[in-house]
Amino acid sequence: MLAADFGNLERDISMLNASHCDWIHLDVMDGVFVPNISFGFPVMEAMAKVAKKPLDVHLMIVHPEKFIHEVKALGTYMMSVHQEACPHLHRVVQQIKNVGMKAGVVLNPATPLCMIEEVLTNVDMILLMAVNPGFGGQKFIPQTLDKIKRLRQMLDAVQSDALIEIDGGVSRFNANELYDAGANVLVAGSAVFNASDPIAEIDALKA
Ligand code: ZN
């Protein structure tokens, strides 16, 4: 939703409802963990009322554990927190799951995969940032491709069925490569909302 028209959120979410997209991804920024502010709970409540697809909430904020109940109240399916923001990551993952949501953990481009090695069998999804978080419309960092392949091997080694999600610079031009490397979930913002036909663009991504 970061690339949607914030003056026409209802229109843009209705478009997504009518499309073949699987989830609606919300990027929450606090101006502290990342150098930008996006939107907070009043805006997300308005979006959640219109959305008919599962909500995938990505918190780019410090102390994400403080907002687990607010995120749950939106009807969220998947709540993801940054490893870099959670010194007690194992506990936060359990807290998210205890209230009935799926738990995802996010790594910035510079954070090595070993930082989540001990929670690979606890999480439902690992989100690899393919840009430095804070702004939409950035270019895909090419090293992410190798990181996806290594993460897929790590998950297979511990027989974890956690999903691999990629966020940042995703488009129809790299979707195939990402999928082949082992990604399951692709987050597309600018690629969809800047397209002349967003519904056809989603179909192209899924194809
Ligand atoms: Zn995101």
Regarding beta strands 185-187 and 163-167, do their DSSP bridges make them parallel or antiparallel, or are they unpaired? Answer: parallel
Note whether residue 114 is domain-resident: yes
pLDDT, residue 130, reads 97
Cα of 46 from ligand 1 centre, angstroms = 19
pLDDT, residue 136, reads 78
Of 131, 74, 83, residue with least CA distance to 104: 83
Note whether residue 81 is domain-resident: yes
Residues, beta carbon < 5 Å, ion ligand 1: 27, 58, 167
Note whether residue 10 is domain-resident: yes
User: Residue 6 in 3-state DSSP?
Assistant: helix
Question: Which residues are identified as catalytic?
Answer: 27, 167
- Per-residue pLDDT tens digits of the chain, which is 207 residues long: 999 999 999 999 999 999 999 999 999 999 999 999 999 999 999 999 999 999 999 999 999 999 999 999 999 999 999 999 999 999 999 999 999 999 999 999 999 999 999 999 999 999 999 999 988 788 999 999 999 999 999 999 999 999 999 999 999 999 999 999 999 999 999 999 999 999 999 999 999
pLDDT in tens, 39-73: 999 999 999 999 999 999 999 999 999 999 999 99
Cα of 58 from ligand 1 centre, angstroms = 5
User: Domain containing 171 — which CATH number?
Assistant: 3.20.20.70
Note whether residue 78 is domain-resident: yes
* Domains contained in the chain, number: 1
Cα of 196 from ligand 1 centre, angstroms = 22
Of 44, 38, 42, 43, residue with least CA distance to 57: 44
pTM as predicted: 0.97
Note whether residue 1 is domain-resident: no
Note whether residue 110 is domain-resident: yes
Cα of 92 from ligand 1 centre, angstroms = 18
129 in Cβ contact with 91 (< 8 Å): no
Range of the domain at 55: 6-206
pLDDT, residue 134, reads 86
